[in-house]
Structures are given as structure tokens and as C-alpha cells.
Amino acid sequence: MPNFSWEPLDFLEALEVVPVVGEYGIYYQYLVSRASLSLSLTIWPLDCDVEILFKNEGSAEPFVRLNLLDCPGARVIRDDQRTYIEFSAARLFGGRFDHAHTPPYGFQLQIQPFIQISTFSYPV
């Protein structure tokens, strides 16, 4: 069984919050709040799954829910302008489309100077 490739200490430093860790390290959940926006990033390293939720303050349901299934890993990247977490290509659909090939793009979760989610692509 492949494990999720990541450096938890890099995530701690980038997100500036201590994660809630499930029993036996089953999951790591980072809860980040900025102004009226809250971000919940949950990683299940043994299953290689990631969930990203964006919620507005006072709202019961998230306005963005992104699930990355069988995600091989993630890394924290810092450049002159910003800090972001780059997630490798993952399965996005739970059906027959996944078995052909993994799409050649991943997701970037920007942390600094503001929170934002975007896609990136790379050559296959």
C-alpha cells in the first residue's frame, strides 16, 4: 500500500497551525481561519486521500469541497511572492474515467499572502 508523500513539518510551518491528528495517525486535519474565510485541509496519509473545504464565517456548509483520491503526495513551495501547497495529480472522479489515465494536472493551495485554490498542469 503506497503512502502519501509529504513532510508534515513543512505543512505545520506553512499553515501556522498545529493539526488535529487522528488515532494512530489515520488523518491530519489543519483548520486555518483568515478574516471571514476558514479552510479545512484533511489528509489521510495511509489512503492517499485529501479533502479541502472552504467555508464562510457563519455558514453551515462549505462553498468549496475538493476531494483528491489516490493523491500520491504534496509539497510546500515558497517563492518571493507566495507560499503554497502543491498536490500531485489525483483521481477526481469515482468512475470509469479514472481507469484510463490520471489527468496531467494537480492543485495548488495558496496560503500566503491570501488563501486561494487553483490548478496547474505539467507535460505528460
User: Is residue 75 in a domain?
Assistant: yes
Residue 101 has pLDDT above 70, yes or no: no
Residue 69 contacts residue 92 (beta carbons within 8 Å): yes
Domain that holds residue 67: 8-121
Give the Cβ contact number of residue 115 at 10 Å: 17
How far is Cα 21 from Cα 2, in angstroms, rounded to an integer? 20
Q: What percentage of residues in the chain have a pLDDT greater than 90?
A: 70
Domain count, the chain: 1
∠ CA 98-104-108, nearest 5°, is 105
User: Is residue 3 in a domain?
Assistant: no
- What integer pLDDT is reported at residue 106 of this predicted model? 87
Amino acid letter, 84? Y
**What integer is the mean pLDDT of 86-105?**
67
Of 61, 19, 12, the closest CA to residue 44 belongs to 19
- What integer pLDDT is reported at residue 105 of this predicted model? 80
Over the stretch 26-85, which tens digit does the pLDDT of each residue have? 999 999 999 899 999 999 999 999 999 999 998 989 999 999 988 999 999 999 999 999
